[in-house]
Amino acid sequence: MSLIVKEKTTVRLVFLGAAGVGKTALIQRFLQDRFEHKYKRTVEELHGIEYDVDGGKIRIEIMDTSGSYSFPAMRKLCIRNGDAFALVYSVDDRESFNEVQRLRDEILELKDEKHIPLTVVGNKVDLENQRLVRTEDIMPIVEFDWNASFVEASAKTSENVLGVFKEILRQVNLPSRISPALRRRRETIPQDNIGVRKKPPMKKQNSCILS
């Protein structure tokens, strides 16, 4: 079910999920190896990294989206412009997995493609004692019914965060040799490339207008 990247030099990964499940935290842990304990409500932010592959370079864009229902048009645009999707839920919140199911349905409706790279991510496995979403219940749904990938991780402890991004890249047929192949660990898209005012780091704002 992988999307084959041929002439494409930019691949966009879109992170979707309910508010508070840790989308920003996963991206932040991967790009900057840090974790913010205080939750901040966000809208959108686009990050870019360059990846060396087969003597050339692939630009990977990571779109961090809002979990709020206040921005449905923005979410739809993000989905239309995405190449691969990480659907994130929290293992201590059953409703957050229900939201993943709704988002998957929306992606299938908007993309209208036969093969859509999807990776479902169960975040916050550090809260094992508070787990409400069991791996053995979710994995068969994701892997067999949805034909998607399934990964669990913890942005807080960094457990398997690299594995999340390796799996997403595998979904678009990019090599999973993340390090040391990354030329730059993190580079927020410059303001003149996105046509919006520059925002403070990790404050998200209308970046999704990129095609």
Establish if 153 belongs to a structural domain. Answer: yes
Work out whether the CA dihedral 17, 18, 22, 24 comes out positive or negative.
positive
Q: How confident is the model over 20-60, as pLDDT tens digits?
A: 999 999 999 998 888 887 766 656 788 888 876 666 777 88
CA distance 65 to 190: 18
Establish if 23 belongs to a structural domain. Answer: yes
Q: How confident is the model over 68-122, as pLDDT tens digits?
A: 666 678 888 889 999 999 999 999 999 999 999 999 999 999 998 878 999 999 9
Q: Which residues pair with 100 in a beta bridge?
A: none
Q: Is residue 107 within 8 Å of 41, Cβ to Cβ?
A: no
CB neighbourhood size of 122 (10 A) = 28
Establish if 210 belongs to a structural domain. Answer: no
pLDDT exceeds 70 at position 193:
no
Domain limits for position 111: 10-196
Furthest CA-CA distance within the chain: 46
Identify the band that residue 137 occupies on the pLDDT scale cut at 50, 70 and 90.
very high
CA distance 141 to 138: 5
Number of domains in the chain: 1
Work out whether the CA dihedral 16, 206, 13, 156 comes out positive or negative.
negative
Establish if 104 belongs to a structural domain. Answer: yes
User: Strand, coil or helix: what is 52?
Assistant: strand
User: Strand, coil or helix: what is 138?
Assistant: helix
Establish if 188 belongs to a structural domain. Answer: yes
Predicted structure pTM score: 0.78
> Residue ranges of the alpha helices (H) in the chain?
23-32, 72-81, 94-111, 135-140, 161-171, 178-181, 191-194
Q: What is the CATH number of the domain that holds 147?
A: 3.40.50.300
Cα distances (Å, whole numbers) of residue 134 to 40, 100, 130: 27, 15, 11
Establish if 203 belongs to a structural domain. Answer: no
Establish if 204 belongs to a structural domain. Answer: no
